[in-house]
């Protein structure tokens, strides 16, 4: 692949179809209309779109007393919402549709429930954002208008997500300074700057002259189409296509089968090739002859089946009928916090965000509140408080939106008996039959039920007055278990606080709700083996857990074959930072709890671990972590079934449309790619490419790396793109992490996620992956 002008194409079938069927007619329109049509083909006369473009007044809600009228509308670029402020000297504000995570109709946000009355329920809706930005709570003038806003926003968001088209047309419109639907050489240079590619004057002039066939000094009509062709050209795709297109410049069905088998390592048949051609080929004549054109191949190479993640791993593909403790379970710490644990806000929205990310174990730190209503906050700090009942309501509403599998409510109980009884009432009345309050089946259980058996259910993790066995022997006296909670003991800097907790009693109503996750102290592996029942579990502060995982790894693994273990961040992490979860997974720990509100590499890795299996929040542990007699030790790596030495070959080919990470007018991205392997210590490795200077639009590397992976069942692979800066450190652009065993071989597109874990809709990385048995 040369260093010529080769650029990314758009990540959508619809856009490529436009290239052949719509572009010519669009060229007769203004550049603004070109942008409009590219984004909303099929919606030009849509009433919902027209409603948003016209906009209207809405009541913005910040508090019970602060409700102000603001005018909202969708701007002509069809990707920005504009809000007019009524305040003197106050700038109007905008936000992008890309920043919206969801729109909720009714009083579904914490703010609307707190700041409005029941009678305005039908007139309310909220716009929820992906980042830490506060929700936008709004009230329309009527229920019909609220539904119109909700439906219109839903439709436009859905259209954008499906089309997944980038900002090239917007930049083209911005570059046309005088709005004459023509591009001068100066405007062309400005356009290239807008799309994040730097070229010298000679190259810019050469490109312009190549397109200016009329020698008029500007580009218009077909010349813009030629310019479009240059922009959407991908030389790397041309090379791949050319190697297999053996039938008069086309790929025959057999050519396509050869490509799928040799390059993609897929078990492909002629029938598979025919289906691909039928689905992706835009040229009807070629389709009729069962041929795949270059455009059709390009469309196919951007479809989900060609992503780096195996298609079948996107669905639930693992056995979900095994006991609960045989799974890694996505877990959150201090789930109620939106920011740090000293003075940050607590919010029910934090539970919603964690649950929508398929978190299956959420934490509730519960304290006595006023009016006999328990509250949740980080005790003895300045974090704000939320009502326990409101948290449970939000959890019930969003628990099973992403995953159907069970949610564990980890109670850190600091309440008086009286308010514990209120807690029990709220849990029972709000969660109803979904709350597990007695063992499944008949008689005393000897093992955990499976995630499959617990679908749609809630489990309580907390203290219990007696053994579960006592509920099957009524004559047995209930023991008064005065133990403090695990985290109180681990963080007992304040002896008075510890003594107070030791005196605290447990309400029978709340105790009876703890069935499969009874919290107990950990003394030693030997003590646990001899004295603890399967359902009695311990929580470990990260330092203690990491020490056990390093010094007594096999004992920890065997402990986790029978019991559940929860790990949580040290109390000294006042900024709610995280720790590396990988060593704890290597030791078989199921509930490795992280601060979901904190963006960092550790959370990226956690998201990668639970990316697969239908984002169910449950990942079946490898067989050697489920065997009571296992000899596996991730530190020493003795011989065993876990050793499956593989060689991973990664060719980093190119990237497309990387965003600038700062808004400086004349800044350009100097991207480099890091490929990292996480897993047992012997597998941990990192390689990186050189930086490509001044090109975030279509950088090409063509660099190869090789990794030895000894325990692939525990390994993850992480692709990261950074903006190189030799003076102040590299700046993160995007990443994608996935399990090693979920890698799709061959030429693959790697989607990129931003620091919040959301998809960068137009950016991508192009790689070639090969996994071979090591010799």
Pick the last residue of a domain from 231, 256, 272: 231
Mean pLDDT lowest among 489-493, 516-520, 639-643 = 489-493
In a domain, 30, yes or no: yes
Q: How confident is the model at residue 510, as a pLDDT?
A: 97
Q: How confident is the model at residue 695, as a pLDDT?
A: 85
Element (H, E) at 105: strand 100-105
Q: Select which of 166, 333, 414, 559 is catalytic.
A: 333
In a domain, 267, yes or no: yes
- d(C-alpha 721, C-alpha 700), whole Å: 13
Mean pLDDT, residues 525-540? 96
In a domain, 712, yes or no: yes
Question: Do 515 and 621 reside in the same domain of the chain?
Answer: yes
Judge whether 508 is annotated as a binding position.
no
Mean pLDDT lowest among 267-281, 290-304, 643-657 = 290-304
The length of the chain is: 775
Q: How confident is the model at residue 489, as a pLDDT?
A: 41
Q: How confident is the model at residue 77, as a pLDDT?
A: 66
- d(C-alpha 398, C-alpha 352), whole Å: 6
Q: How confident is the model at residue 92, as a pLDDT?
A: 61
Name the residue with higher pLDDT: 10 or 629: 629
Q: b or e along 644-658 (b: 16 or more beta carbons within 10 Å of the residue's beta carbon)?
A: eebebebebbbbbbb
Q: How confident is the model at residue 9, as a pLDDT?
A: 32
Question: Do 608 and 735 reside in the same domain of the chain?
Answer: no
The candidate with the shortest Cα–Cα distance to 207, out of 233, 188, 220, 221, is 188
Annotation marks residue 521 as catalytic: no
Give the phi and the psi of residue 297 in degrees, each rounded to 5: -65, -40
Mean pLDDT, residues 748-759? 92
Name the residue with higher pLDDT: 722 or 478: 722
Q: Give the domain CATH number at 192.
A: 1.10.238.10
What is the band of 303 on the pLDDT scale with cuts at 50, 70, 90? confident
State how beta strands 80-84 and 291-292 pair: unpaired
Name the residue with higher pLDDT: 329 or 756: 329
Question: Do 281 and 423 reside in the same domain of the chain?
Answer: no
* Tokens found for residue 688: 């990186």
- The DSSP code for 690 is P
Judge whether 566 is annotated as a binding position.
yes
In a domain, 341, yes or no: yes
Mean pLDDT lowest among 176-180, 407-411, 639-643, 699-703 = 176-180
Question: Do 373 and 512 reside in the same domain of the chain?
Answer: yes
Question: Do 158 and 212 reside in the same domain of the chain?
Answer: no
Q: How confident is the model at residue 292, as a pLDDT?
A: 96
Q: How confident is the model at residue 696, as a pLDDT?
A: 85
Q: Select which of 19, 378, 414, 426 is catalytic.
A: 378
Judge whether 202 is annotated as a binding position.
no
* Tokens found for residue 433: 């039959």
> Helix (H, G, I), strand (E, B), or coil: what is residue 322?
coil
- d(C-alpha 11, C-alpha 279), whole Å: 16
Q: How confident is the model at residue 685, as a pLDDT?
A: 98
Name the residue with higher pLDDT: 492 or 401: 401
- d(C-alpha 483, C-alpha 737), whole Å: 40
Give the phi and the psi of residue 330 in degrees, each rounded to 5: -60, 120
> Helix (H, G, I), strand (E, B), or coil: what is residue 610?
coil
Pick the last residue of a domain from 133, 163, 193: 163
Is the per-residue pLDDT at 492 higher than 70?
no
Decide: 735 and 753 in contact? Cβ < 8 Å: yes
Is the per-residue pLDDT at 491 higher than 70?
no
pLDDT cut 90: percent of the chain above it: 64
Mean pLDDT, residues 327-345? 94
Name the residue with higher pLDDT: 4 or 344: 344
Judge whether 346 is annotated as a binding position.
no
Pick the last residue of a domain from 306, 332, 364: 306
Within 8 A by CB and 6+ apart from 448, the residues are: 323, 324, 325, 516, 534, 535, 564
Q: How confident is the model at residue 497, as a pLDDT?
A: 46
Q: Domain tally for the chain?
A: 5
What is the band of 43 on the pLDDT scale with cuts at 50, 70, 90? low
The reported pTM is 0.84
Mean pLDDT, residues 460-481? 77
State how beta strands 291-292 and 251-252 pair: antiparallel
Q: How confident is the model at residue 16, as a pLDDT?
A: 34
- d(C-alpha 659, C-alpha 761), whole Å: 10
Judge whether 723 is annotated as a binding position.
yes
Q: What would the pLDDT profile of 209-250 be if each residue is shown by its tens digit?
A: 888 888 888 888 778 767 766 666 788 988 999 999 987 889
- d(C-alpha 121, C-alpha 615), whole Å: 32
Question: Do 172 and 251 reside in the same domain of the chain?
Answer: no
Q: Give the domain CATH number at 141.
A: 2.30.29.30
pLDDT cut 70: percent of the chain above it: 85
In a domain, 492, yes or no: yes
Mean pLDDT, residues 503-519? 92
> Helix (H, G, I), strand (E, B), or coil: what is residue 661?
coil
Mean pLDDT, residues 123-137? 88
Question: Do 659 and 696 reside in the same domain of the chain?
Answer: yes
In a domain, 35, yes or no: yes
Judge whether 368 is annotated as a binding position.
no
Mean pLDDT, residues 84-90? 60
Q: How confident is the model at residue 289, as a pLDDT?
A: 94
Q: How confident is the model at residue 91, as a pLDDT?
A: 56
Question: Do 37 and 51 reside in the same domain of the chain?
Answer: no
In whole numbers, what is the pLDDT of the chain averaged over residues?
86
> Helix (H, G, I), strand (E, B), or coil: what is residue 753?
strand
The candidate with the shortest Cα–Cα distance to 448, out of 462, 468, 465, is 468
State the helix-helix crossing angle for 13-21 and 143-163, rounded to 10 degrees: 80
Is the per-residue pLDDT at 29 higher than 60?
no
Question: Do 399 and 548 reside in the same domain of the chain?
Answer: yes
Q: How confident is the model at residue 199, as a pLDDT?
A: 57
* Tokens found for residue 525: 């592996």
Question: Do 470 and 398 reside in the same domain of the chain?
Answer: yes
Question: Do 665 and 730 reside in the same domain of the chain?
Answer: yes
Question: Do 195 and 242 reside in the same domain of the chain?
Answer: no
In a domain, 508, yes or no: yes
Judge whether 363 is annotated as a binding position.
yes
Q: Give the domain CATH number at 660.
A: 2.60.40.150
- d(C-alpha 505, C-alpha 481), whole Å: 8
Residue 258, domain extent:
235-306
* Tokens found for residue 755: 């620091």
List beta partners, residue 10: none
Mean pLDDT, residues 555-565? 97
CA-based radius of gyration for the chain: 29
Decide: 623 and 631 in contact? Cβ < 8 Å: no
What is the band of 533 on the pLDDT scale with cuts at 50, 70, 90? very high
Mean pLDDT lowest among 126-140, 363-377, 562-576, 613-627 = 126-140
Q: How confident is the model at residue 226, as a pLDDT?
A: 77
Q: Give the domain CATH number at 479.
A: 3.20.20.190
Name the residue with higher pLDDT: 10 or 381: 381
Decide: 186 and 162 in contact? Cβ < 8 Å: no
Is the per-residue pLDDT at 478 higher than 80?
no
Is the per-residue pLDDT at 495 higher than 60?
no
- d(C-alpha 542, C-alpha 595), whole Å: 13
> Helix (H, G, I), strand (E, B), or coil: what is residue 618?
strand
Decide: 566 and 541 in contact? Cβ < 8 Å: no
Can you give 724-740 as a three-state secondary structure string?
CCCCCCCEEEEEEEEEH
Judge whether 360 is annotated as a binding position.
no
Q: How confident is the model at residue 98, as a pLDDT?
A: 80
What is the band of 660 on the pLDDT scale with cuts at 50, 70, 90? confident
What is the band of 689 on the pLDDT scale with cuts at 50, 70, 90? very high
Count other Cβ atoms within 10 Å, centred on residue 513.
Answer: 23
> Helix (H, G, I), strand (E, B), or coil: what is residue 195?
coil
Mean pLDDT, residues 647-662? 89
Q: Which of 22-31, 108-117, 155-164, 561-570 has the highest mean pLDDT?
A: 561-570
Decide: 319 and 619 in contact? Cβ < 8 Å: no
The candidate with the shortest Cα–Cα distance to 726, out of 659, 670, 657, 685, is 670
> Helix (H, G, I), strand (E, B), or coil: what is residue 327?
strand
Judge whether 461 is annotated as a binding position.
yes
Is the per-residue pLDDT at 354 higher than 90?
yes
Annotation marks residue 333 as catalytic: yes
In a domain, 638, yes or no: no
Mean pLDDT lowest among 32-36, 572-576, 662-666, 701-705 = 32-36
* Tokens found for residue 449: 């039920």
First to last CA, the chain: 31
Judge whether 412 is annotated as a binding position.
yes
Mean pLDDT lowest among 254-258, 429-433, 637-641 = 637-641
């Amino acid at each position: 692949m040369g260093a010529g002008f080769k650029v990314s194409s758009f990540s959508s079938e619809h856009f490529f179809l436009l290239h052949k069927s719509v572009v010519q007619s669009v060229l007769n329109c203004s550049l603004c209309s070109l942008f409009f049509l590219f984004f909303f083909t099929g919606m030009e006369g849509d009433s919902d779109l027209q409603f948003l473009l016209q906009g209207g007044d809405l009541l913005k809600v910040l508090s019970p007393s602060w409700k102000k009228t603001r005018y909202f509308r969708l701007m002509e670029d069809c990707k920005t919402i504009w809000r007019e402020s009524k305040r003197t000297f106050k700038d109007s504000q905008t936000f992008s549709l890309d920043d919206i995570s969801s729109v909720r109709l009714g009083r579904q946000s914490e703010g609307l429930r707190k700041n409005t009355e029941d009678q305005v329920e039908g007139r309310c809706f909220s716009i929820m954002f992906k980042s830490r930005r506060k929700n936008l709570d709004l009230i329309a003038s009527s229920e019909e208008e609220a539904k119109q806003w909700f439906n219109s926003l839903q439709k436009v968001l859905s259209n954008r997500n499906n089309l997944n088209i980038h900002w090239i047309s917007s930049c083209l419109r911005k570059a046309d300074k005088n709005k004459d639907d023509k591009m001068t050489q100066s405007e062309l240079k400005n356009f290239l700057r807008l799309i994040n590619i730097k070229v010298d004057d000679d190259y810019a002039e050469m490109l312009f002259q190549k397109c200016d066939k009329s020698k008029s000094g500007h580009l218009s009509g077909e010349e813009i189409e030629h310019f479009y062709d240059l922009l959407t050209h991908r030389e790397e795709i041309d090379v791949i296509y050319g190697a297999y297109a053996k039938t008069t410049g086309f790929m025959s069905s057999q050519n396509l089968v050869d490509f799928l088998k040799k390059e993609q390592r897929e078990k492909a048949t002629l029938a598979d090739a025919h289906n691909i051609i039928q689905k992706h080929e835009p040229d009807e004549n070629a389709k009729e002859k069962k041929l795949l054109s270059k455009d059709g191949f390009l469309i196919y190479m951007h479809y989900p089946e060609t992503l780096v993640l195996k298609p079948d791993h996107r669905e639930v593909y693992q056995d979900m009928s095994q006991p609960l403790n045989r799974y890694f379970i996505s877990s959150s710490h201090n789930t109620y916090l939106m920011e740090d644990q000293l003075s940050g806000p607590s919010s029910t929205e934090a539970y919603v965000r964690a649950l929508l990310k398929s978190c299956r174990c959420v934490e509730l730190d519960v304290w006595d509140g006023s009016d006999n209503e328990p509250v949740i906050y980080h005790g003895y700090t300045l974090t704000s408080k939320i009502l326990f009942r409101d948290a449970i309501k939000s959890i019930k509403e969003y628990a099973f939106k992403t995953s159907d599998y069970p949610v564990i409510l980890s109670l850190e109980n600091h309440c008086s008996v009286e308010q514990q009884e209120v807690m029990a009432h709220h849990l029972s009345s709000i969660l109803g039959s979904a709350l597990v309050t007695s063992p499944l089946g008949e008689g005393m259980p000897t093992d955990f039920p499976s995630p499959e058996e617990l679908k749609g259910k809630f489990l309580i993790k907390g203290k219990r007055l007696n053994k579960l066995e006592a509920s099957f022997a009524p004559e047995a006296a209930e023991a008064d278990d005065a133990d403090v909670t695990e985290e109180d003991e681990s963080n007992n800097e304040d002896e008075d606080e510890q003594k107070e907790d030791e005196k605290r009693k447990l309400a029978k109503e709340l105790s009876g709700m703890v069935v499969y996750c009874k919290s107990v102290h950990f003394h030693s592996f030997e003590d646990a083996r001899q004295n603890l029942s399967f359902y009695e579990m311990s929580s470990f502060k990260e330092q203690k857990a990491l020490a056990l995982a390093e010094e007594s790894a096999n004992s920890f693994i065997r402990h986790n074959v029978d019991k559940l273990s929860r790990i949580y961040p040290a109390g000294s992490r006042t900024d709610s930072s995280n720790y590396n979860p990988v060593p704890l997974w290597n030791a078989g720990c199921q509930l490795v709890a992280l601060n979901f509100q904190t963006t960092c590499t550790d959370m990226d890795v956690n998201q990668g671990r639970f990316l697969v299996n239908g984002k169910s929040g449950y990942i079946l542990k490898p067989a050697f972590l489920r065997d009571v007699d296992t000899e596996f030790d991730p530190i020493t790596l003795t011989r065993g079934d876990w050793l499956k030495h593989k060689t991973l070959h990664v060719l980093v080919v190119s990237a497309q449309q990387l965003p600038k990470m700062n808004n400086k007018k004349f800044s350009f991205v100097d991207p480099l790619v890091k490929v990292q392997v996480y897993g047992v210590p012997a597998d941990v490795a990192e390689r990186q490419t050189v930086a490509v200077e001044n090109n975030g639009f279509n950088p090409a590397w063509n660099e190869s790396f090789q990794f030895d992976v000894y325990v692939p069942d525990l390994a993850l692979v992480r692709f990261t793109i950074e903006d190189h800066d030799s003076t102040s450190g590299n700046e993160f652009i995007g990443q994608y992490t996935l399990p090693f065993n979920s890698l799709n071989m061959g030429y693959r597109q790697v989607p990129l996620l931003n620091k919040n874990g959301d998809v960068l809709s137009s950016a991508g990385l192009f790689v070639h992956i090969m996994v071979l048995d090591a010799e």
